[in-house]
Amino acid sequence: MHILILGGDGYLGWPTAMYFSGKGHDVTVVDNYFRRNACTELDCGTLFHVPSLSERAAIWQEKTGYTIQVVIGDLTDPEVMRSFFTGDVTYQWPSNGAVCAPPDTVIHYAEQPSAPYSLLNYKYANTTISNNLLVTNNLMFALKDLKPDTHVIHIGTMGEYGTPNIDIEEGWLEVEHKGRKDTFLFPRQASSIYHTSKIMDTDLMWFAVRTWKLRITNLMQGPVYGLETDESKIDSRLKTIFNYDEIFGTVVNRFITQAIVGYPLTVYGQGGQTRGYLNIKDTLQCVGKAVQTPAKQGEFRFFNQIMETFTVRELAELTCTVGRSLGYDVVIRSVENPRKEAEEHYYNPVYHGLLDIGVIPHYLTEEVMKEIFLLIAPFKDAIRKDVIFKGIKW
Ligand code: USQ
């Protein structure tokens, strides 16, 4: 299969590229280096230096013999998006790369992924909305015009649903109203501009499926944690970008980093916020299973991509237990919540669809968290305390 990964330089994009390449698929990655550039612009700090995409693809080829083709381009430009389906694409690596056939599958990660970034101010809100919606819309039109049988896997977010006082279904809800029934997208109520942009993505994709009979899987993902995947073990330079700062770091990765550097764990507010979490290894498994069992033509398929739920307080306590067992002096400090979100709420999402197609979860046990501690610990001296909490409010 030829798999095109939009956003192939990100936290999830690069591990996904290695995962499919290692299984013998033809893989092309495209990225505009948004994440790296934003980290530099906003002085976020990352745990370690990450080689460029071309450098990583060269290391990958040297170690495994597999080629990952690299394109540096901005997918908000419709011509860049369309070039992958017309064969007019310009490869950065390998420089003599033969032009590939159009992809069979597109995995769409090419979005600004941070809620705090989207609420820094109106400028960053606009960047989030324009990037995320234009990339998705360009993809929908490229498929409609050039290759409607391509299976798209879009990484959505559980945050689209918010924290409703009813159980969260996988994408759809059957509603009975005045004696009649119909099925609708599950009600959405996001708590950031970033999450709202993902709701609008979903609406664009649902329009495209209804109107042009495209085939799309929307993976409604919770916060991801972890650093290592089977492929990144091959060479330390293949590790994915790792953020622990307030803007791009997700909570579990942040807490472990904070514990290592002796920074009190930043539990926002009461810490009763409940989310569904998954290991980065399970993101790869889920995407892998979704590729193997694609949506049908004209189907908009949803999976809730989480493996288990935790409150923030539970995550902080787990980090404390594991950190102390490793000799770190870990303390928890509740800080005034910079976000507008429910701090104690009902949360009962359904998430059996991915298990039904064969995903076997890696749960966040003490042992698993210890492994992540041991991967981050060697970078202790590089951890910057000044980027951990700046209090980006909304
Ligand atoms: N939190 C803390 N302390 C911190 C950081 C976060 O208490 O230092 C809390 C937040 O207030 C929130 C929860 O932990 O209640 C999760 O926050 P997060 O920053 O790990 O995740 P979030 O902002 O929701 O976004 C992340 C990814 C995003 C993805 C989303 C899935 O950045 O791309 O879509 O997780 S979900 O949360 O299910 O919407």
pLDDT 10s digits, 273-330 = 999 999 999 999 999 999 999 999 999 999 999 999 999 999 999 999 999 999 999 9
**pLDDT tens for residues 338-370?**
999 999 999 999 999 999 999 999 999 999 999
Q: Is 223 in the pocket of ligand 1 (CB under 6 A)?
A: yes
Average pLDDT over residues 214-237: 98
pLDDT of residue 327: 98
Told to judge if 157 belongs to the known catalytic residues of this protein, a careful annotator would answer yes
- Catalytic annotation, pick one of 194, 244, 328, 351: 194
Residue 30 CA, ligand 1 centroid: distance in Å: 26
Residue 382 CA, ligand 1 centroid: distance in Å: 23
Pairing of strands 265-268, 300-305: unpaired
Tokens of 120: 């820094």
Q: Is 191 in the pocket of ligand 1 (CB under 6 A)?
A: no
The H or E element containing residue 308 is strand 308-311
CA distance 183 to 201: 19
- Catalytic annotation, pick one of 46, 76, 105, 157: 157
Query: Residue 157: what are its φ and ψ, rounded to 5°?
Result: -145, 140
Other beta carbons within 10 angstroms of residue 325's beta carbon come to 13
Ligand 1 atom 15, closest CA: 273
**pLDDT tens for residues 123-136?**
999 999 999 999 99
Q: Tell me which of 221, 250, 387 to substitute to probe ligand 1's pocket, judged by most ligand atoms within 8 Å of the beta carbon.
A: 250
Q: Is 157 in the pocket of ligand 1 (CB under 6 A)?
A: yes
Average pLDDT over residues 245-255: 98
Average pLDDT over residues 256-265: 98
Q: Report yes or no: 184 and 172 within 8 Å, Cβ to Cβ.
A: yes
Residue 20 CA, ligand 1 centroid: distance in Å: 27
Residue 150 CA, ligand 1 centroid: distance in Å: 31
Of the candidates 217, 240, 231, the one whose C-alpha atom is nearest the C-alpha of residue 107 is 217
What dihedral do alpha carbons 63, 65, 66, 70 form, nearest 10°?
70
Strand order in the sheet with 224-225: 224-225, 274-279, 308-311
Average pLDDT over residues 161-167: 98
* CATH number at 2-387: 3.40.50.720
CA distance 91 to 100: 10
Query: Computed over its alpha carbons, how large is the radius of gyration of the chain?
Result: 20
Global pTM exceeds 0.85: yes
- Atom index in ligand 1 nearest the CA of residue 248 equals 32
Average pLDDT over residues 244-256: 98
Told to judge if 194 belongs to the known catalytic residues of this protein, a careful annotator would answer yes
- Say whether 279 sits in a helix, a strand or coil: strand
Domain ranges of the chain: 2-387
Residue 223 CA, ligand 1 centroid: distance in Å: 6
Residue 31 pLDDT > 80: yes
Of the candidates 48, 56, 51, 71, the one whose C-alpha atom is nearest the C-alpha of residue 18 is 56
